[in-house]
Amino acid sequence: MIENIDMKELEKKAWTSYFQDGLFDITIGMIMLVAVLSSTLDAIGVSDEVRISIYIPLMVIVPPVFFILGKRYITLPRLGVAKFGARRKARNKIMIAGLVSVQLVLLAILILQVYGVGLGWFGFIIVTLNILAVFCLIAYLLDYRRMYVIGILVAASEPMTVVLRRYSDTVYRGFIAYGIPAIIILAMGLIVLHHFMRKYEKPAKETPDASQG
């Protein structure tokens, strides 16, 4: 019984280690920066078609590719490949589905904004609660406490945009609503990535002493 408990704790520790590299945080920050880019292009008068052709590839392609390559060339060489049980694999699938759903929701919001379609207060409340619920679910499944903070920052961005649009004339509302949270999330991710790489830094190979021999 004790051995079974120890194995579960070891599996949990190995599982959480794979998500302590900061790559998830950085990926979310990159996705949010797309919203900042959209607002900036709109402010300088770029056409809707050009905006869509620019930020859809940036949102759909760049962040996932960065995450996959980061895992491949940063995380796996330091932690190795681990085989997890069916329960952990199921959690991983739910996490991926949750991340994709958030990405699709943010993409839909951006497209609706381009074509001048407003969701209204009720729609934004529903979207905000859905995003928050998804991030809380991911945080719970991954034992990833930072994800609760990230979820709050992401979920609050769009309502903040609505508030700024209604009560302020600033052209920087996109940066304030999405850019500031994105910078915070990116900073968190980069700090965690730095600590991760230092913690699992590969020892330098010893070179033979030329004086010996």
The per-residue pLDDT for range 66-104, each reduced to its tens digit, is 989 998 999 888 887 767 667 667 777 777 777 677 667
Taking only the tens place, the pLDDT of each residue in 33-49 is: 887 887 777 777 777 77
Confidence band, pLDDT 50/70/90 cuts, at residue 113 = low
Taking only the tens place, the pLDDT of each residue in 147-205 is: 899 989 988 887 887 788 778 777 777 788 889 999 999 999 999 999 999 888 754 44
pTM above 0.85, yes or no: no
Output phi, psi for 22, to 5 deg: 80, -5
